[in-house]
């Protein structure tokens, strides 16, 4: 069983809506893009276990504007240090953090669905006949439903040959973007991993600086 700090049980990743509910809220899956892919001897391949903390905050992009972000931040399992998308620890495991391309602009209705809340699994679907990009990879809710966007072109160029060759890649929603906590979602950030599934192992938030 996956464990968190001090050997405690790993907590299932939950959506912000579930957290805001006093009790009885829907809990999201902690596994991303579950797969039936198996190794030799019919033993299931293990998921990619990733340590995270939940946070909600405003973000002020360099190009201006204000964005409300809610969801999961990757952290170092030993120190609890936040890991940016370019952290060498992620690269060493083949993990990719990226925005879902075209999510808010072209797939607004699908992005608003509960099935793509933070912690929810996503399905990666190759689209080799795409007229604009033969390496295109569509992003769908793992539970079924309308497409929410695309894997960014530069990442799809790396992943497409591996997926076409039968390699397992999983995805999960890390964070949602809104203009404010009360506004509709405008975008999604996802985690991709070279594994049949992703397990988010939630840790307590680190205390604020004194």
How do residues 112-157 score in pLDDT, each as one tens digit?
999 999 999 999 999 999 999 999 999 999 999 999 999 999 999 9
C-alpha span between 76 and 51 (Å, rounded): 7
According to DSSP H, which parts of 21-152 are helical?
88-92, 103-106, 108-111
Phi-psi region of 71 (alpha: psi -120 to 50; beta: other; left: phi over 0): left
Report yes or no: 198 and 50 within 8 Å, Cβ to Cβ: yes
- Residue 7 has a pLDDT of 36
- Residue 129 has a pLDDT of 96
- Residue 41 has a pLDDT of 55
- Other CB atoms within 10 Å distance of the CB of residue 196: 23
C-alpha span between 129 and 127 (Å, rounded): 5
- Residue 98 has a pLDDT of 97
Q: Buried (b) or exposed (e) across 26-48, using 16+ Cβ within 10 A?
A: eebbbbbbbbeeeeeeeeeeebb
- Residue 7, C-beta contacts closer than 8 angstroms, at least 6 positions apart: none
Q: Buried (b) or exposed (e) across 85-96, using 16+ Cβ within 10 A?
A: eeeeebeeeebb
- Residue 127 has a pLDDT of 97
Angle at CA of residue 10, ends 93 and 70, nearest 5°: 75
- Residue 51 has a pLDDT of 97
- Residue 88 has a pLDDT of 97
Rounded to an integer, what is the distance from CA 170 to the centroid of its chain?
9
C-alpha span between 149 and 5 (Å, rounded): 35
The residues of the chain scoring below 70 in pLDDT are 1-43, 206-210
Residue whose C-alpha is closest to residue 95's, from 176, 1, 159, 14? 159
C-alpha span between 67 and 61 (Å, rounded): 8
C-alpha span between 19 and 86 (Å, rounded): 29
Check residue 183 and report its DSSP letter. Answer: S
Count of alpha carbons within 13 angstroms of residue 86, beta-carbon side: 0
Pairing outcome for strands 67-74 and 31-32: unpaired
């Amino acid at each position: 069983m996956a464990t968190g700090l001090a050997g405690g049980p790993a907590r299932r990743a939950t959506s912000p809506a579930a957290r805001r509910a006093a009790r009885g809220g829907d809990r999201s899956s902690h596994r991303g893009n579950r797969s039936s892919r198996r190794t030799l001897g019919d033993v299931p391949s293990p998921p990619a276990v990733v340590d995270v903390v939940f946070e909600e905050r405003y973000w002020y992009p360099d190009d201006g504007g204000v964005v409300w972000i809610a969801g999961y931040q990757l952290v170092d399992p030993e120190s609890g240090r936040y890991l940016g998308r370019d952290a060498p620890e992620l690269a060493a495991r083949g993990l990719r953090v990226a925005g879902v391309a075209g999510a808010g602009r072209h797939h607004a209705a699908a992005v608003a669905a509960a099935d793509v809340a933070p912690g929810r699994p996503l399905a990666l679907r190759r689209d080799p006949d795409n007229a604009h990009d033969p390496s295109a990879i569509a992003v769908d809710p793992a539970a079924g439903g309308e497409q929410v966007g695309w894997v960014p072109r530069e990442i799809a160029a790396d992943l497409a040959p591996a997926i076409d060759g039968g390699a397992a890649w999983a995805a999960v929603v890390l964070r949602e973007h809104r203009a404010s906590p009360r506004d509709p979602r405008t975008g999604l950030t996802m985690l991709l991993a070279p594994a049949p599934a992703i397990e988010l192992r939630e840790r307590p938030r680190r205390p604020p600086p004194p």
